[in-house]
Amino acid sequence: MFELSAEHEMFRAAVRDFAESEIRPHSAQWDQEHRFPVEIVPKMGEMGLFGLTAPEEFGGADGDFLSLCVAIEELGRVDQSIGITLSAGVGLGINPILSFGTAEQKERWLPALVAGRQLAAFGLTEPGAGSDAGGTRTRARRENGEWVINGSKSFITNSGTSITSVVTVTARTGEQPDGSPEISAILMPAGTPGFTVDPAYHKLGWHASDTHGLTFDDCRVPAENLVGEQGAGFRQFLQILDDGRVAISALALGLAQACLELATEYAKTRVAFGRPIGANQGVAFQVADLAVAVEAARALTYKAAWLKDERDAGRRSAKELSQAAAIAKLYSTEAAVTATRTVTQILGGNGFMEEFPAARYYRDAKILEIGEGTSEIQRMVIARGLGLPR
């Protein structure tokens, strides 16, 4: 059911060629310099990667979500930082505007985002509100036809580049009848007075990905910058996160595939005690386990991506997608973390050296189990989907 079409395979080959020629030769340097390579974004735009799921009227391909996941997988196989740049650029940058924005908002922002001339970000996480998104403390109040926003956000991808044009910010805009916070989403253009992009984080991994905290001090934006209905922000970002979890699963799949390829090649060529180390069952079985994990992660990821497309077509439910997204994200990210440990162990001392990509793989992997909902959150979603009591 989830076998890729000939068109998907041709697309995969094109993205892989792009990743091998335009990204792999520079990945180690970008990582060492902790530099976001802004110059690669327009090239990705020319490939059509940011517009895969966008309508043709905005310059997109009007394609399926599975194609986007294939692209993220192939970029992530070579460089996780570039993979997350695409994943966040589409899933968290373009998707809120495309899914919930007005016609005017789409016309203003989407063409440049789809073309890769600009990037957008999604400001959800805060110092005291990550997995507990309902704990949002950023506030927005209506005043003289404007929203006045105060607060801060943490760990926001693509938020501080030289081509970042807008951030969709979640904020408390009141209270629900039951006393819970009313959350709304509001577009915050770059350069808005009072909008400060904090210094870049010094991260364990994803060194070539752009990540900042954001601060809002009496930021004023027009009332029409509201995305969707007032108070619909919580429902909106739950949908966005479901889609994003599938994309992160694809990113993790790419990393696991890279580990499998590196481990296999090393086990064939590294000689110890007069024969390749892959001739030893202790190594061969580890590589075999990696192959099993990659195939399982691929099946779960592609199924979830297919369900996303089916949900959008009205043929499958949001509940089905939520469950499949959580399962795929949980399995694939934990498999990727295990894969990086395995390949590092197989490479031995070389695995600990930055001259080999295993070290970068190892550092990049851990965030996969945290971003877009931790592994613990995924287990909660899965358990609730099974009907277990809260």
List residues with catalytic annotation: 372
Region for 315 from its dihedrals, namely left if φ exceeds 0, alpha if ψ lies in -120 to 50, beta otherwise: alpha
Which of 216, 155, 151, 228 lies closest to 189, judged by CA?
216
What residues pair up with 156 in beta bridges, in sequence order? 212
Side-chain-side CA neighbours of 192 within 13 Å: the count stands at 28
Q: How far apart are CA 16 and CA 13, in angstroms?
A: 5
From residue 110, alpha-carbon distances to 45, 86, 279 in Å are: 12, 15, 53
